[in-house]
A and B are shown apart, each in its own frame.
Chain A
């Protein structure tokens, strides 16, 4: 990290340094770093290297500007006014640098606070800018639209292609496929696309060519992504023309796409490895029942979204009589919204990013309030210095200019620190990528972001630095000089301003702390949920068996895998099913749901159907409340044995006990199917710890009516060891050599993936909350200490007049806590409002949760009390004689 920081810091130097010296300096730093024997040596190196850079930067840029001026002056004749004003400015800058270096505690604190605030805001702004603000990197990005509302059927897409308002209508569907031509079976994502798709999103081939119309005749051509080409074939230049085996088919590689090709994830859903022509002849794409294609298009010239929408609506009216899938339950034509692709891409993350931007802005404001305190304190302390200067003839503009340069310099150095912090912050943020942000691949700090950070630094420095400092300039120098001989007490207006800042700071911090406590409580609440099965020592292997043409074939291969895996040393039992709990969180498109009638009264119910092998319940250790599972022999008997969960039992039959031995019926294309309930299980959290259990029906895998290219094996092990994952993989390949098994994962990892976003939320807001709390405490402490110093004389007189030490302490303490109390009151109201914004991210906790809000308020009050008590104690210890004599 340090080397990364240093390298970036070096880029900030003027061009001549960057051109000639930067590479060597970076190289030397790396060598020094690597040759440092221990942490102490490294700390020393970091201290020496980083500590001296800010001033070196200012100095170098100043002389670079002077040189540039001089160079320009040489090329002209005569004097120019700009030259003199420029050297004036340079003199002011040098002057300001000198002043700031003389007061390192002040400069350091301001720079630190600014860096913290600017760093946080810049990090999030970079993400927001890339994800939300920039135009999409596609030709015709402004005219790209998506036909929304999920996927579409093949025949519907063919009709859409004929619409007059839409041009280059393109469709895509992504699936897992198995690549068998290499040393080990590999799982790839295949995107099947219509002919215009690649061109629509600006694909450029680095090898060979894109797909053309002829490729759609035989559909045996394929284009690779650059990453796939380099990962699997090591960028082998002879790849074009080679044949690869995908799902048993021989495909010819015709091209490799440039790395920059990134169609919107909202269309593909997955990171696509290989691109193939869509096989329109496939019965699946000719059926009205299979809806699997995502569709994008370009609005024709001069066509608005509303025009296209009218066109699509008319199409749906024409389609409605063709098949029931094009009608709503009420029999009307279904509507398909036409939305701009840019909006569709980011709609899921807009709110979340907005929230983060809000949070970091609060943090910046808290940091800036502290900066304002510091400048005010310094301004008061320098009142006499400035007054003397004015008395000696310095005009107000000159003094203001001087103060402004100080603020701007500190702002720029702080902003530089902020940008460096943002580089680190951004790396961490993107490493977590909690929201799976779209368009996240190319996020980096670039000139746009630098300009933003620079502007923000200068602006905040002027507002929070110059304005408070200016208070010291106004008023007549006479009064200031006279007042200072009396040992200045701060004026009433000044005290009000300070108190106002503290109130604002405490209130803003409370909003952050309260948000953090709500999110942390949510996370804890989710973690506390009982998944309904034993997650320890449970490992799972998701598989994609393809080239299977019947349910029997599917079972045959999966039974072999099942047996082979069961025989692995250390495995106590194994099971498989279409899916496993917590594999797909938040619903998704994975699972199978259908309508049933239950019991003699024929209660309508639409449970999730989970086909599983009969050892599913014992392997996962799901508790049976009533009855039990089925034996292998019973699996194919009629009525089909089945197990329901408690939610199903209660919804259909009123209680778990009443469900036992009841019948459940389903009427479908395969005729009437009858199931008998042999057991009732406790509810499991199938789609995430934070998803309420829904009615579920577990049926024998033997019942699976059609082959589905997915399966998920679970094994219960005695104890996991390092080689377990590999042994399980090899057990799969021993019986199914072409079946990829890229993922072998303990259940805890599936759980962690499901709660990653909430973990991120609570960690990020928790950090913000703690930082804000410390900043508020620091602000309060510093201000009170400073005010106690200012009022030393007043305190001494009070003591001389008989006030006790405890009395003075109590009086000071009361003052601090009172101001903080007002801040907390304001903050509570603000938090109550702000928590509504968090509502969609909370679970199991109310937005107005009193424990979280009052707890946060109490935490702030406790911290504020400590922060006030320390200066109060100092004030109480003032020796009155010493204080009065020192004047």
Chain B
């Protein structure tokens, strides 16, 4: 796939959307909780990224789930899920390549 490798932020956004559809603030909070060093997405760039992903058809607006009429909720499209899986698989392969094969307890 030509989009890979994904930018780390894009990967994080796709990953938290894979759990469940969320609105913007929810994404920021979920990314912050999930990442080890507490990655802080800034709202302006988050919405730019979401716009790009919507254009590329990775995510879509989920209707009927709005608790607050002003907040849009976004979910992964099948294509977005494919992109995420491809990227995760790519990273796993990469890790498997670099990880020493027979070193008990001596992982990276």
A binding-site residues for B, Cβ under 8 Å: 9-10, 13, 16-17, 20-21, 23-29, 31-32, 44-45, 48-49, 52-53, 56, 60
- In Å, the complex CA distance between A21 and B47 comes to 6
Distance between B63 CB and nearest chain A CB, rounded to angstroms: 15
Q: Are B24 and A10 in contact (CB under 8 A)?
A: no
Cβ proximity bits B20-46 to A, threshold 8 Å, 1 near / 0 not: 000111001000000000001111111
Q: Are B48 and A26 in contact (CB under 8 A)?
A: no
Contacts A10-B44, A52-B44 given; indicate if A25 touches B51 (C-beta within 8 A).
no
Partner of B47 from the list A9, A25, A44, A49 (CB cut-off 8 Å) is: A25
Cβ proximity bits B63-89 to A, threshold 8 Å, 1 near / 0 not: 000000011100000000000000000
Partner of A24 from the list B41, B42, B47 (CB cut-off 8 Å) is: B47
Q: Are B45 and A52 in contact (CB under 8 A)?
A: yes
- In Å, the complex CA distance between A517 and B23 comes to 55
Contacts A21-B51, A28-B25, A31-B25 given; indicate if A13 touches B70 (C-beta within 8 A).
no
Give the secondary structure class of A's interface: helix
- In Å, the complex CA distance between A16 and B54 comes to 14
Interface residue tally of chain B, by bracket? 10 to 19
What B residues does A20 contact at CB under 8 A? 51
Q: Are A13 and B44 in contact (CB under 8 A)?
A: yes
- CB-CB nearest in chain B for A29: B43
Partner of B70 from the list A24, A48, A56 (CB cut-off 8 Å) is: A24
Residue of A13, A32, A45, A56 with most partner-chain B CB within 10 A? A32
Q: Are A24 and B48 in contact (CB under 8 A)?
A: no
Q: Are A24 and B71 in contact (CB under 8 A)?
A: yes
Given contacts A21-B50, A52-B42, A53-B45, 6 further A-B contacts (CB under 8 A): A16-B51, A20-B51, A21-B48, A24-B72, A45-B40, A60-B48
B binding-site residues for A, Cβ under 8 Å: 23-25, 28, 40-48, 50-51, 70-72
Distance between A496 CB and nearest chain B CB, rounded to angstroms: 45
Contacts A24-B70, A28-B25 given; indicate if A48 touches B42 (C-beta within 8 A).
yes
Q: Are B70 and A23 in contact (CB under 8 A)?
A: yes
What B residues does A29 contact at CB under 8 A? 42-43
What B residues does A60 contact at CB under 8 A? 48
What A residues does B41 contact at CB under 8 A? 48
What B residues does A21 contact at CB under 8 A? 47-48, 50-51
Distance between A106 CB and nearest chain B CB, rounded to angstroms: 24
Distance between B69 CB and nearest chain A CB, rounded to angstroms: 11
- In Å, the complex CA distance between A25 and B45 comes to 9
Q: Are B70 and A49 in contact (CB under 8 A)?
A: no
- CB-CB nearest in chain A for B48: A56
Contacts A17-B51, A24-B24, A28-B24 given; indicate if A53 touches B70 (C-beta within 8 A).
no
Distance between B21 CB and nearest chain A CB, rounded to angstroms: 15
Q: Are A28 and B70 in contact (CB under 8 A)?
A: no
What A residues does B40 contact at CB under 8 A? 44-45, 48
Contacts A23-B70, A49-B43 given; indicate if A28 touches B48 (C-beta within 8 A).
no
Distance between A8 CB and nearest chain B CB, rounded to angstroms: 12
Partner of A32 from the list B28, B45, B71 (CB cut-off 8 Å) is: B28
